[in-house]
Chains A and B, each alone.
Chain A
Amino acid sequence: MSILVTPETKFIVQGITGGFGGRHAQLSLDYGSKLVAGVTPGKGGQTFADTVPIFDSVAEAVAETGATASAIFVPPPFAADAVLEGMAADLELVVAITEGIPVRDMISVKKALETSKTKLIGPNCPGIVTPGTGENSQGGCRIGISPGYIHKAGNIGVISRSGTLTYEAVWQITSAGYGQSTCVGIGGDPVPGMTHLDVLKLFNEDSDTKGIIMIGEIGGTAEEEAAAWAKENCSKPIAGFIAGATAPPGRRMGHAGAIVSGGKGTAEAKKAAFREAGIGVAETPSEMADTLLKMM
């Protein structure tokens, strides 16, 4: 099994007619994922790549195709609205790839999520992959912008706030001959949908996940919260890595959420929380997979 999505998950792409959205929609099709529709208001009735129908609204796309998930590639000013539209259509999962959504918009979305059945991954994230069993992990479910070929079906779960750093961890696992159950990039924004803890709980319950890599970075306290929970509740080995030990306080390091402010959110505090919870800490990113494999 896997968490959140399986190779059978049918999903749509909101913003499929944009350059970025279209490019990654094609890559998902090439990977063998079940991308069943696109949504661009005003372009309903057209098709994407000659096969994927485009609808004017998420509700129509869901009614016609039975999709349960969505990837959002809509530009920042309209992205929060796209998430809310996905929630209104009762999708199980919305994955917001868009980078640069105003924090105030995400605060409103976060509140709406409290009373919704929809789960949100992102924004500002690489998305989610449950690898398939074909060549180069083809036939899996790829929602977002991750490179599919670096994956391999297996039993390690990956949670991360970063994009390329996640690929680094995934590639190390694959190169070592192991594979992933599901990889979730939760994104680098200060107000995300699912947190490290939310994803960790799902991995803990998933019988096919035998070990977990949790990648964090400076800013906020989400890693500490996940570690505190793991200490009491998680029965599986976890290896962690925290980026940003050398980041100067008060400076935003690329990601909107990667900032040490008021002495809070330091890499040091997060690593200490990991160690306290029995999570193996990789000192350099080159050791992420090795640290976990030694524990398994």
Chain B
Amino acid sequence: MNLHEYQAKELMARHGVQIPLGYPATSVEEAKTAIEKLFNEGHKRVVIKSQIHAGGRGKGTFKDGFQGGVHLADSINDATAKAESMFGNILVTKQTGEEGKQVNRLLITSAEEIKSEYYVAVLLDRAKGRPIIMASAEGGMNIEEVAKESPEKIFKETIDPDLGLQPYQGRKIAIALGLRGRLIGQCGKLLQCLYETWAECDASMVEVNPMALIENEEGAESVVALDAKMSIDSNAMFRHPDIQAMRDLSEEDPLEVEAGKFDLNYIKLDGNIACLVNGAGLAMSTMDAIKHYGGEPANFLDVGGGASQEQVKAAFEIILSDPAVKAILINIFGGIMNCNTIAEGVVAAAKETDLKLPLIVRLEGNNVEAGRVTLAESGISLITASSLAEAAQKSVEAAK
């Protein structure tokens, strides 16, 4: 589950990470209050940041032509006018796709005097099965490009899960980033707090890009997290009801949310051949086979190991609500699951949804003969196949 920047910052601050003062706003009124508060507290400049689950906000463009999803403002009036232009407007960034995302939340923070920017992230190193902290002095940049072109500019420390990030490891990274004097200790501490946020919130990833060296009016320097991105391991949500409450359903695909209610794993794609499969690996392979024979899958859909009739029906309804779909491929390997139960579910769902699209069915496994008879005698028109490859070929043909 992904979080908004302001939510990630709230969790980081709870674990001691230094964050510039800021307030989230879910309405223009709230934004106004936040802006006034910051200026009245003595800040001379504020930043107004769109809160959407996509990167590239600063360089994005709103659909009405207003440039930039992140703005600086020097006065209450200027800030309020900008917040008004952003609120409810649709922001298109390189990560949102053409349709963009509506900005329903803003984060208003104090603007800092930035001296340098860094990249920091805590994530899982799958090859080692341990968390790592990763940092680079190339802050604000696309870290994947840095990793590709100059891997020596990325500093990594593997973390012992029983001990956590040790102070010396934090200092080591701070020194590598070029920080000196008391900033070494201060940055090291921030990195430790960042790791604690990762561990205690069961995060999959915590990213601060940029972490910045800032200077206040008295000339004192410090290191703070200017931006924040966080995703949480959904398997661990049972122990984080507070984080679960941060879920923003408006950021998720409505069909995927609907599928989740029935324990179905659905991901919408751009093609026109819908698939309904049991098992994640087999579901991916079914998509691959469709593509292999020249078609385009409309979705990934795993109905799980023990799909019930109700789930099959829900799956049909979800698939059919995508207007691009021209054919449906059902691929079931009933290991323990009874193929006849699935066949009965398919027949019932096809009848209830008054299915008009070509339906290609490939059943294999437990009690498959009875399942095939059920399909054949159902009166619904369908195309059967005996292997996955054949089913994929037939569905590509049917979708033409």
Number of residues of chain B lying within 8 A (CB) of chain A: 54
CB distance from B294 to the nearest CB of A (A): 12
Indicate if B102 sits at the interface (CB-CB under 8 A).
no
Interface residues of B in 273-293 (CB under 8 A from A): 277-285, 287-292
CB distance from B360 to the nearest CB of A (A): 15
B235 touching A76 by the CB < 8 A rule? Answer: yes
Interface residues of A in 96-117 (CB under 8 A from B): 100-108, 110-111
Indicate if A168 sits at the interface (CB-CB under 8 A).
yes
Indicate if A176 sits at the interface (CB-CB under 8 A).
no
Task: Render A256-296 as a binary contact track against B, CB cut-off 8 A, 1 for contact.
Answer: 11100011000100000000000000011111000000000
CB distance from B135 to the nearest CB of A (A): 15
B335 touching A102 by the CB < 8 A rule? Answer: no
Nearest-CB residue, chain B, relative to A257: B126
Contact of B388 among A145, A161, A218, A285 (CB under 8 A): A285
Number of residues of chain A lying within 8 A (CB) of chain B: 63
Interface segment, one of A9-17, A40-48, A200-208, A245-253: A245-253
- Whether A167 touches B289, Cβ cut-off 8 Å, given contacts A254-B280, A257-B126, is no
B281 touching A160 by the CB < 8 A rule? Answer: yes
Task: Render A24-57 as a binary contact track against B, CB cut-off 8 A, 1 for contact.
Answer: 1001000000000000000000000000000000
Contacts of A221 in B (CB 8 A): 126-127
Q: How far is the CA of A105 from the CA of B235 in the complex (A)?
A: 10
Q: How far is the CA of A190 from the CA of B238 in the complex (A)?
A: 19
A104 touching B365 by the CB < 8 A rule? Answer: no
B284 touching A111 by the CB < 8 A rule? Answer: no
Q: How far is the CA of A90 from the CA of B288 in the complex (A)?
A: 42
- Whether A244 touches B288, Cβ cut-off 8 Å, given contacts A104-B233, A254-B283, A286-B389, is yes
CB distance from B157 to the nearest CB of A (A): 15
Indicate if B222 sits at the interface (CB-CB under 8 A).
no
A165 touching B233 by the CB < 8 A rule? Answer: no
B residues sitting closer than 8 Å to A (CB atoms) are 124, 126-127, 129-131, 143-144, 147-148, 160-162, 199, 202, 204, 233, 235-236, 238-239, 265, 267, 269, 277-285, 287-292, 297, 300, 302, 305, 333, 335-336, 364-366, 387-390, 392
Closest 10 pairs (CB-CB, A-B): A162-B281, A254-B280, A164-B279, A165-B281, A102-B236, A147-B335, A286-B389, A110-B129, A243-B284, A164-B282
Sample of 19 more A-B contacts, CB < 8 Å, known A110-B130, A160-B281, A167-B333: A103-B236, A104-B202, A107-B161, A111-B160, A149-B366, A167-B365, A220-B126, A221-B126, A243-B285, A244-B284, A246-B269, A248-B269, A254-B265, A258-B280, A258-B281, A263-B148, A284-B392, A286-B289, A286-B390
- Could you show 19 A-B contacts with beta carbons less than 8 Å apart? A102-B236, A103-B233, A104-B161, A104-B233, A111-B129, A149-B366, A162-B281, A165-B279, A188-B281, A191-B124, A191-B126, A220-B127, A246-B284, A254-B280, A254-B281, A267-B288, A284-B288, A285-B388, A285-B389
